[in-house]
Structures are given as structure tokens and as C-alpha cells.
A and B are shown apart, each in its own frame.
Chain A
Amino acid sequence: GQQVMQIPQYQHVQEGEDFTTYCNSSTTLSNIQWYKQRPGGHPVFLIQLVKSGEVKKQKRLTFQFGEAKKNSSLHITATQTTDVGTYFCAGPRNNNDMRFGAGTRLTVKP
């Protein structure tokens, strides 16, 4: 069945450094969503990408959807301590639900 894989599993950066997490699907996705989960919290929706090659920005965050709609990335420029958390990508399976990747856990050293 459809699987969503994320790399890396963990990323530790110095404050001010950039950070990127990658998401790959075994099948073509109609759309992909990104969520952030702070330690001890619940997943919070960040963005959804729908179009092939789509790029969206939210302040220091840049989201990309691959041309083949099988991969996506989230890039954070100049990380801050408030960026700490786990970032999940999620893709729809059978148009009924979102299947989540294992996430990339980001820690930021001040």
C-alpha cells in the first residue's frame, strides 16, 4: 500500500542554521500536507500542496511539491528555538484519510 517516508529522522542544528526535511511517497499523491507537533503537543496543520512543482512560503518556511507529485520538502531558513518540534508530512490514501510519515524531529541549540 501507499507509504510515506521521511528523512532524516532527527536533525539537530545551531540556531540560525537552515533545516530541510524530505518526504517521499511510493505512489503519486493528489496532495500533500505538512504538520508540526511541538513536544507534548498535538499535530498542527501547516500547509497543503496540490499542484505539481508547487512552491509555497510561510515566512521562513518554504514548502515544495515535486514535479511527479511523489516527493515534497520543507525548508526552514535561519532556524529559531521556536521551530523546535517534529515535522510530519501526510498524503491521502484512497482519498479517505491522510497517512503520516514518521516525522523529522528538529532540535535547535540556542
Chain B
Amino acid sequence: GAGVSQTPSNKVTEKGKYVELRCDPISGHTALYWYRQSLGQGPEFLIYFQGTGAADDSGLPNDRFFAVRPEGSVSTLKIQRTERGDSAVYLCASSPTWTGAAGTEAFFGQGTRLTVV
């Protein structure tokens, strides 16, 4: 596709339920990132994939959060037993390689707004 695609754009779920958020990165981008953004805050790093493997998952807040990227393209962020504090915009970004490399920008999707009620 032309850009990073995230679905759904909005998700309302009840406390305690399980949710999956999908990210379809730009074709050919090996690096994929998940961020979480609360109102008035900057994007908060969650997890980074290089290819199929999670190169850095140190930003995941607890074991209720898990992400996969089985074929090195589409990624799914999974949240179990959702809590009201999980409400935020979940952003996915991709880049040709890891963004620490000079000259590599991250391309963000539009995000999924998750609301836990």
C-alpha cells in the first residue's frame, strides 16, 4: 500500500475483554514499531520488530500486552484483560531499517483509538 495502514481506526471495548490491533506496514519495510499515545503526550515506545523477531519489547507495560509479526510484514498488537488505563491511540510505524540508523525516518499510520469502558 501507499502508507502504513492500521485497523480498526476506532475500537471500543469493555473492561476485561481481549482486543487485537492490526498494522500493515509499507511494503518492503523491515522495521516495525508500536507506540502508544495518550492525550497531550508524545508517542510512548512499546515494541520494535526487525523482520519477524521482536528486537526490543522493553516498552510493553506488562504481560497483558503482546505483539506478533509472523511473516515479517503485518503485525498484530494483542491486549488481554483490558483496563480503562489502556485507553489511548495506538500508533504503528515502519521504516526501511531501524530508525536509529542515520537517515532513516519512521512512517506512521493513522493509529487505532482504543477506548476501554
A96–B43 CB distance below 8 A: no
Residue numbers in A under 8 Å from B100 (CB-CB): 30-31, 92-98
Residue numbers in B under 8 Å from A48 (CB-CB): 102-105
Residue numbers in A under 8 Å from B45 (CB-CB): 93, 97-100
Q: For this complex, into which size category does the number of interface residues on chain A fall?
A: 20 to 34
Question: What is the bound-complex CA distance between A94 and B59, given in angstroms?
Answer: 13
A64-110 residues at the B interface, CB under 8 angstroms: 88, 92-103, 105
Where chain B touches its partner, the secondary structure class is loop
Measured CB to CB, the closest approach of chain A to B40, in angstroms, equals 8
Residue numbers in A under 8 Å from B43 (CB-CB): 43, 88, 100
Contact digits for B81-117, partner A, Cβ 8 Å, 1 yes 0 no: 0000000000101000011111111111111000000
Task: Given A42-B109, A42-B110, verify A97-B33 contact (CB < 8 Å).
Answer: yes
Question: What is the bound-complex CA distance between A100 and B48, given in angstroms?
Answer: 14
Question: What is the bound-complex CA distance between A44 and B37, given in angstroms?
Answer: 14
Question: What is the bound-complex CA distance between A101 and B93, given in angstroms?
Answer: 17
**Which residue from B33, B41, B56, B111 sits with its C-beta under 8 Å from A94?**
B56
Contact digits for A17-43, partner B, Cβ 8 Å, 1 yes 0 no: 000000000000011010000000111
B55 lies within 8 A of chain A by Cβ: yes
Measured CB to CB, the closest approach of chain A to B22, in angstroms, equals 16
B42 lies within 8 A of chain A by Cβ: yes
Task: Give the A-binding residues of B (Cβ under 8 A).
Answer: 33, 35, 40-45, 48, 55-56, 59, 91, 93, 98-111
Task: Give the B-binding residues of A (Cβ under 8 A).
Answer: 6, 30-31, 33, 41-45, 48, 50, 88, 92-103, 105
